[in-house]
Structure 1
Amino acid sequence: MKKLFSFFVGAICLVSHISFAQENNSMLWEVSGNGLQQPSYVQGTFHMMCAKDFQMKQKTIDALGKVKRLVLELNYTDPTEMAAVQKMMQSDQKLSEKLSADEATELNEVLKSYGVTLQAVNNYSPQALYSFIGQKATPCPQTEIKMYEIELLTLAAKSGKTFGGLEKVADQTDALGKSYDLKEIIRQLKAGDEYAILSESMIKAFNEENLIALDELLKDERFMNKEQEDLMLNKRNIDWVSKKMPAMMEKESVLFAVGGGHLLGKEGVLNLLKEKGYTIKPVR
């Protein structure tokens, strides 16, 4: 269950280019102007990877040192939110009750490739079931899994930073549930080996700060169609930039750390901030 919890958090944290980003690939961006007294930063993250692949750039550590607050998609320091993650993993209705007999048999066969059976996970929610994909995308023991946000939190705690979140667990699980129903999740689970290949390419792009390549990989239509992109990324980006990020930045300097898939696009965080009048600059 502990391992599934890690994969679940990574999964729900899950995911057209703009010219200034095409010319300035970076995972870290400075946000200034528009009345701000001090700059804030937006850091694109890769939620979960094996320790052998994990890197955190010195410039990110330096940016964290300059701000007063670290804000993630979720506030991992809030015990209420972490309890909500645990609760969302369970369902009152069994998975098998939502499927025909043939569909349940098919799911059981698919789950065998993940080392479990339908009977063992029958009380899981569809969102928790989706998190099994992380086992293919992160093929290492739990002790060797690194979560970028948790590493940032650890550094921030050592220097006395305060913490916040851009949304609640309920917001993320709602977006995931609307994007991927149970039958779609089964289809995605069947593509687990493709996810493993995709993950290798994404990690390479992330570590090389090739934001354009990472964005294209994250939005591969085999795994995320346009409707799912709108629900999982665009609508959440609009909510963050229109309602939450400006107020936080006006109050104090912030390092926002969000999944790399949220950065680019017409409705990506960077372009939305630019449209609101902020100056967006890549940090080298």
Structure 2
Amino acid sequence: MKSIFTAVVFIWGCISMGHSQTSNAVIPQEKSLIWEIKGKNLNQASFLYGTIHMIGKKDFFLTEGTKKSFDQAKQVAFEIDMEEMNNIMALVPLLMQSFMKNDTTLKDLLTKEEYTQVEAHFQQIGMPMMLLNRIKPMFLSAMDPESMMGKGGQKEDIVSYEMEFLEMAQKQKKNVEGLETAAFQMSMFDSIPYKVQAKMLLESIKGGGESSDSQFAEMVDLYKQQDIQGMQDMVNDEGGTGNYNDLLLVNRNRKWIPVMEKMMQGQPTFFAVGAGHLGGEKGVIALLRKAGYTVEPVK
């Protein structure tokens, strides 16, 4: 069941990194992962943190400003309710949503040669296709450890920022919330044609190896520099979710704002979402500023 949780978390991390930027005064220019939200009708500040959903243990870090901001908050909100993901009764229906509809299989979506290539890849990493053939290709890609961390990722410990923050919240007995449900996130996969998903999966496998390792290392380096703009520019240069960007990212950012406002009005909240949601004209920081809030990096 843990692999299901990992896939749900990671795939939205990938989606979170691919939207365009434009010049605007509300767009954040500073390099920071942790931002303070105040003003408008808030009695106390809330905080917004940009995560990278999976990272090697040696590269994991939390600044003192992040720790202090977390301690000041009364509740923690993730993209989804992380405590729900530890509930096996909640994970079972999510597992059912990972399968393609109408008995569609990966064989139906690829040529014989393409399918053989995908099959060989997953057999090599110990994931036989006979068990995976009906899983939605985007979800299948997220279950691939080489997609997450490159080939080197199989040899080192992987840390989830969300799981670290969840553990901190539980120790401090903070309330845990989600900006949207995991079921909603899973349902979004059906908005992208399975054939398109299959081609994306094939391209991710073709682009693996040393190139994948190098790209992931570059992304981690930008993250450690707290360069949210640089991370987005990097993924934009390599492609991304293309015509589905508004559906998978921009629309979600917009829907989050009223949810965040309600939470912040109730009590100071620490929001932890994928770093790719923060920057840009249509990112969460810009949208909060447009809504009348002051959003500044925490020093």
- Whether TM-score is above 0.5 comes out as yes
Q: Give the CA deviation at 1:235.
A: 1.2
Q: Give, in angstroms, the shift of residue 225 of structure 1.
A: 4.4
Shift of 1:49: 1.1
Does residue 11 of structure 1 match 2:11?
yes
In structure 2, C-alpha distance between the alignment counterparts of 1:228 and 1:114, rounded to whole Å:
30
Relative to the length of structure 2, the TM-score reads 0.84
Report the equivalent of 1:105. Answer: 116
CA distance in 1, matches of 2:155, 2:6: 8
Take 1:131 and 1:147, find their aligned partners in 2: how far apart are those partners?
14
**Quick one: structure 1 residues 197 and 4, their matched pair in 2 at CA, closer, same or farther if it must change by over 3 Å?**
farther
* Pairing of 1:32-51 with structure 2 (within 5 A): 32-51=38-57
Q: Which amino acid aligns with 1:12?
A: W
Q: Aligned partner of 1:205: which letter? A: L
Distance in 1, Cα, partners of 2:154 & 2:273: 24
Q: For residues 160-179 of structure 1, what are the structure 2 equivalents within 5 Å?
A: 160-179=173-192
The equivalent residue for 1:126 is 137
2:198 maps to 1:182: yes
Contact 1:110 1:190 in 2 (8 A): no
Aligned length: 282
Q: Distance in 2 between the 1:2 and 1:58 partners?
A: 30
Q: State the distance in 2 between where 1:83 and 1:4 align.
A: 10
Cα shift readout 1:118-154 (whole Å, capped 9, x = no counterpart)? 3342232323212145424423348811000100010
Contact 1:107–1:186 (Cα < 8 Å) also in 2: yes
Q: Give how far 1:19 is off.
A: 4.7
Counterpart amino acid of residue 95 in structure 2: Q
CA distance change for structure 1 residues 5 and 272 in 2, over 3 Å: closer, same or farther? closer
Measure the CA separation in 2 of the matches of 1:65 and 1:56. Answer: 13
TM-score by length of 1: 0.88
Q: What code does the residue aligned with 1:165 have?
A: G
**Which range moved further: 194-203 or 49-58?**
194-203
Identity of paired residues, percent? 27
> What's the secondary structure of 1:192's corresponding residue?
coil
Distance in structure 2 (CA, Å) of the matches to 1:213 and 1:57: 19
Whole-Å separation in 2 of the counterparts to 1:105 and 1:95: 11
In 2: Cα distance, 1:98 partner to 1:186 partner: 11
Task: State whether structure 2 residue 226 is matched by structure 1 residue 209.
Answer: yes
Cα-to-partner distance string for 1:229-283 (whole Å, 9 max, x where unaligned)? 3232211101111x31111111111111000000111110000000001111111
Q: CA deviation at 1:159?
A: 0.7
CA distance, structure 2, for counterparts of residue 37 and residue 83 of structure 1:
40
Quick one: distance in 2 between partners of 1:225 and 1:94? 22
Structure 2 gap segments, 5+ residues each: none
Tell whether the 8 Å contact from 1:73 to 1:166 is kept in structure 2 after alignment: yes
1:257 to 267, 272, 280: 272
Return the offset for 1:113. 5.3
* Structure 1: runs of 5+ lacking an equivalent: none
Distance 1:225 1:107 in 2: 20
Counterparts in 2 of 1:41 and 1:218: CA distance versus 1, 3 Å: farther
2:32–2:297 Cα contact (<8 Å) kept: yes
